Amino acid sequence: MPKPEHAPGYVPNPGYTQDDWDAVSDNPALIDDELAAARPGPDGMPPGVAAAFVSRIGRPKAERRKVPVTIRLDPDVVAAFKATGPGWQTRMNDALRAAVRDLSAA
């Protein structure tokens, strides 16, 4: 069978050449023992890499966690906050916090 002009999956790109692609595209297939020993995620990584990987997963932990609640509000109130764009829930929380300060100052 003749050798194809390009390696499978190769798409011409100014960032790499066919020779670059050929240098990395000829990895041997994994054998059954290697597949059985493979571990997903941080368990299959060197300790230094796993530590960096785990430390960047998800959002940073908040100092004070928010409490999920269900509340019924007038549609015009919700519409007014939503009309201010992304982050409207945070702005609503800030408005409620200001109201609490006003109540405790009175």
Greater confidence (76 vs 1) lies with 76
* Confidence check: pLDDT of 97 > 80: yes
Global model pTM greater than 0.95? no
Average pLDDT, whole number, for the chain?
83
- The DSSP bridge partners found for residue 13 are 16
68 domain-assigned: no
94 domain-assigned: yes
86 domain-assigned: yes
Give how many domains the chain has, as a whole number: 2
d(CA 81, CA 92): 7
11 domain-assigned: no
Domain assignment of residue 40, given as a range: 19-55
Q: pLDDT of 20-30, one tens digit each?
A: 777 776 677 77
pLDDT at residue number 1: 53
37 domain-assigned: yes
- Residue in this structure with the two tokens 């408005």, named with its chain if needed: 95
